[in-house]
Structure 1
Amino acid sequence: MTIREPAAIAVALVLACAGCAAPGRSVPEASRSGSGPSATAGTPAPGGGARPSLPAAPHGWTRDRIRAAVAEHPGTTRTAAPTVLNSLVGAVFTHSAGGDHFCTASVVDSAGLNLIVTAAHCVYDPHLGQRDDLVFVPGYRGGDTPNGVWPLLSVTVDQAWKDSGDPDVDVAFAVVAPQGGQQVQQVLGANLLGIDRGFRLPVKVTGYPSSGELPITCSNTTTEQSPTQLRVDCPDYTGGTSGSPWVTDFDPGTMTGTVVGVIGGYQEGGDTADTSYSSYFGERVQDLYDRATG
């Protein structure tokens, strides 16, 4: 989440090599902050130059590891490869599903049937501008793209994010291109957008850590970090999970719910892997959605 300076990257690598989850949600890139290298080392960066060869963070969840993580976080339910929400949640890559994965996004209901929601820092850098080389891969699992690859056509972020990276509007909506004559919501369905739902809500948070090939899901109750920020405690939400949707009112019949947050906001989502933040979805996010769908 927070863009790493070289010293911080070194600390993260030490943690990863020690078998600990390095902090951060979006993976930094050598040539562009807010995005970055996947487990594939040394590939060319879109802006030129080579990506640093970073060792992959620990990945794979054994039963013992899941039990240990849940024991450390009472009230939290954690699954390593969820069967729910996956079709609406996907990894964000550069160029194609074979590119660099650095964030997560999900389908949200819209009149155009073509909208996804993620964190603003995933798609727009206040210093470098908008990324124009991104694709959304819903349901991505181990290299498979069962629900297609959907290029991002346009991105809507708040002017306060563009100007100064305001953490209270670290939210972005993006229109994705149709595939096979159909829009993404026609194919997959969509979650609703929840505005002013309060600070204490049961949510499912699904995201794609860059260190692995499968999504992870955590269930817990949100709390108030500040009047403009939500917080949730979920274990091991490391690089790649920025933009992960926080879904409440989940209906197992329709496999949909209401998105009330995305990993981002304070510290661009959090400086530790076990606590995540989101900009509060209030009037400013409603205005942003209206612009994206207007």
Structure 2
Amino acid sequence: MYSIAQLQDLVNKQVAEKEYPAQPSELYEPIRYILGLGGKRMRPVLLLMACDLFEGSVISALPPALGIELFHNSTLMHDDIMDNAPLRRGKETVHSKWNPNVAILSGDVMLVESFRLLTHVPQAVLKKVTDVFTGTALGVCEGQQMDMNFETSEGVTIAEYIEMIRLKTAVLLAGSLKIGALIANAGDEDADNLYRFGESLGVAFQLQDDILDVYGDPDKFGKQVGGDILSNKKTYLLIKAMDIAEGLDEEELQYWLNAEESDPAAKVRSITDIYTRLGVRQLAEEEMNHYAEKALSFLARVTAPDDKKQLFKDFAEKLLVREN
């Protein structure tokens, strides 16, 4: 089995060596730029891990792995426009550095190229792989639309939120794993169990992201702590707090959510204090652990040697045990 670090190196080399036409430069330079911002490459790495688990050729699976990374970055490029985000991994976003029209079109090219790369699989599994990929891509778009709908919706439930993060975040992890398994000719049941492992792991990962956005160390988390609070983003913690807050806690929470102008530091501090009093951090951690355990239960059903599956447990632990 390859190590996670070895697979990351293979993906990074593939990204660096990928060639694009020189012209029109406004179309292709943004692609080189966003891919050059780095990242953990965890989605293509998961594809390669799954392929390696069932003794498939990791080298032959590099083109579809790169396709997954291109698709992921195309969604980031478009999401940044919708969020009007100025920074991505500490650097200017594509639409800020160029303009939104350039970012839209470059993202479209990445999507097309990702599909082309995903077809570089054995003919015997081509239809299965493309079905998984197209289903995954549709799910990501559905999740993004749900997330945008939540911005103006007053009655978002925990169940609706979990479904949104399943689509927006988790299905791409799950789809990457299933595609890697299919490339290696794994059985349908094993491929499905690996998919469900990734799906549950993705939900747990996003729940932890919600927790770290409030309680994380910004130097270690890599994002602005309290950003979700400042934007009134409907995360697990906010939805749960709105469900259970009563009396003064409910009144104070509504005050900060509806205040048109407020001191950002005071808002973050006050809402964090409400979360702490209500115990929503503990509730979110319990939910995260539920999905992490669910992920491991699906991994246990995969018919592969335990020593090989250990790498997936290590990956899950690395993903979920982050500095806070």
When the two structures are superposed, what TM-score results if normalisation uses the length of structure 2?
Answer: 0.26
From the CA coordinates, give the structure whose radius of gyration is larger.
2
Of Structure 1 and Structure 2, which has the larger fraction of its residues in strand?
1
Q: Which has the higher contact order (CA 8 A, sep 6+)?
A: 1
User: Going by fraction, where is helix more abundant, 1 or 2?
Assistant: 2
TM-score, length of structure 1 as denominator length: 0.28
